[in-house]
């Protein structure tokens, strides 16, 4: 019986992955290419934002994992079609350009949300989530007042640009962070907690002992299995409760 169930699950997984497709969309005359996968039409929608290396197999895998659980997922592309930097200098260039031009960042994120909603149809709820650089952009979405029920960040940038705040945020924020993260410190974590509390934003912030930056990246040298599994389970319960 277990073998039969296992075969059925593998078959369903293959069907979902096969239904996922890369989708083009335009922002200011530039082509972008996101990845969309859906368990069914009008399922709860998740906007997933990539790390600083662009939309890669990692985000596709995470999107498929969520689709298997009944969600529609649009993995956004913030760099442009075919732009998938591999050198650290290039990664810094592409993320730096968007960090310096927040209006452009927001316009690309808004276009990705519009594309996702056009593909998915009306959804009971829409959530944004991101990893590292993607986590920082998800908080940008929250500060911009984008209409989401939730904003989730995994080991993402936590600082708030000068002149911005969380007064327009209308969804709950979930932050998952490693206490051993040397790139984004616990001082940054605490500062964000104070900001969210001052703005009276519904939020939850979790830190995982021993987990470094990028602790969710499968096969990476900083992958932390316990923190990855715990944070994934918290994501799922967070989504279920919205």
Q: Which two tokens stand for residue 153?
A: 């960040």
Residue 42: the pLDDT is 82
Instruction: With beta carbons less than 8 A apart as the criterion, state whether 133 and 108 touch.
Output: no
Cα–Cα dist 114/108, whole Å? 10
DSSP for 121-156 reads ---S-EEEEEETHHHHHHHHHHHTT---SEEEEES-
CA-to-CA distance for 67 and 45, rounded, in angstroms?
10
Bigger pLDDT: 20 or 3? 20
Rounded-to-integer distance, Cα 46 and Cα 93, Å: 27
Which of 33-42, 52-61, 80-89, 227-236 has the weakest average pLDDT?
A: 33-42
What is the model's pLDDT at position 15?
43
Contact 91, 119 (CB under 8 A): no
Q: In DSSP terms, which residues pair with 49 in a beta bridge?
A: 76, 130
Residue written as token pair 């929608």: 45
Which residues contact residue 20 at a Cβ distance below 8 angstroms, ignoring those fewer than 6 apart? Answer: 35, 36, 37, 60, 63, 64, 67
171 closest CA partner among 102, 113, 100: 113
Question: How far is Cα 159 from Cα 108, in angstroms, rounded to an integer?
Answer: 20
Contact 211, 180 (CB under 8 A): yes
pLDDT band at 37 (very low <50, low <70, confident <90, very high): very high
CA atoms within 13 Å, Cβ hemisphere of 6? 3
Candidates 53, 47, 79; CA nearest to 66 is: 47
Q: Residue 178: which pLDDT band, with cuts at 50, 70 and 90?
A: very high
Burial of 4 (0-12, 13-18, 19+ CB in 10 A): exposed
Task: Check residue 123 and give its pLDDT.
Answer: 81
* pLDDT tens, position by position, 99-149: 999 999 999 999 999 999 999 987 889 999 999 999 999 999 999 999 999
Mean pLDDT confidence for 153-167: 97
Determine the CATH number of domain 2-241.
Answer: 3.40.50.1820
Token representation of residue 73? 């997922």
């Amino acid at each position: 019986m277990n073998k039969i169930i296992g075969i059925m699950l593998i078959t369903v997984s293959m069907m979902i992955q096969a239904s996922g497709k890369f989708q083009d969309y335009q922002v200011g005359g530039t082509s972008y290419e996101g990845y969309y996968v859906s368990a069914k039409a009008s399922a709860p929608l998740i906007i997933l934002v990539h790390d600083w290396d662009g939309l890669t197999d990692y985000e596709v895998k995470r999107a498929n994992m969520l689709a298997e659980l009944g969600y529609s997922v649009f993995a956004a592309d913030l760099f442009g079609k075919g732009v998938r930097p591999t050198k650290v200098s290039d990664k810094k260039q592409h993320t730096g350009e968007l960090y310096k031009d927040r209006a452009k960042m927001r316009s690309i994120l808004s276009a990705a949300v519009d594309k996702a909603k056009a593909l998915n149809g009306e959804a009971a709820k829409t959530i944004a989530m991101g990893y590292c650089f993607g986590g920082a952009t998800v908080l940008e979405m929250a500060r911009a007042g984008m209409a989401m029920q939730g904003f989730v960040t995994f080991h993402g940038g936590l600082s708030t640009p000068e002149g911005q705040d969380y007064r327009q945020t209308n969804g709950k924020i979930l932050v998952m962070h490693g206490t051993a993260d040397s790139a984004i410190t616990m001082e940054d974590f605490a500062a964000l907690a104070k900001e969210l509390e001052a703005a009276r934003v519904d939020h939850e912030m979790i830190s995982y002992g021993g987990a470094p930056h990028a602790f969710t990246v499968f096969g990476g040298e900083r992958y932390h299995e316990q923190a990855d599994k715990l944070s994934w389970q918290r994501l799922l319960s967070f989504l279920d409760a919205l």
